[in-house]
Amino acid sequence: MKKFDKHEEYLEAIKEGKSVLLFSANWCPDCRVIEPFLPELEEKYSEVDFYYVDRDDHIELCQEMDIFGIPSFVAFHNGEETGRFVSKQRKTQEEIEEFLESVK
């Protein structure tokens, strides 16, 4: 999963093609639960570029995008938001796959 230093880099990355931003943090236990199957999802949805956004490092981007709970996912196609799976609840692999299918 790609990671950038500046939030402008994320905004540039989502301009073309399909992409998903994963908002997370190292201290978040629910975020750690989904980590083991993220590579599998990236492989299954290879047409999508996945980007990891550390909530603590990019608080301005989180505020800009109304991300108040983590882990959260926001999907884009050519710079336009196509969907979001945003909550502070723990997410299952099946729920994340349902979300990814809905924004394909």
pLDDT in tens, 75-89: 999 999 999 998 777
By three-state DSSP, how is residue 94 classified?
helix
User: Is residue 28 among the annotated active site residues?
Assistant: yes
For the chain, the domains span 17-102
Catalytic residue among 21, 28, 48, 100: 28
- Which ranges of 1-104 would DSSP assign to H, the alpha helix? 7-13, 29-34, 38-44, 59-64, 93-102
Catalytic residue among 31, 48, 67, 70: 31
CATH T-level topology, domain 17-102: Glutaredoxin (3.40.30)
Q: Using CB atoms within 10 A of its CB, is residue 94 exposed (0-12), middle (13-18) or buried (19+)?
A: exposed
Residue 71 has pLDDT above 80, yes or no: yes
Report the predicted TM-score, pTM, of the whole model to 2 decimal places: 0.92
User: Is residue 31 among the annotated active site residues?
Assistant: yes
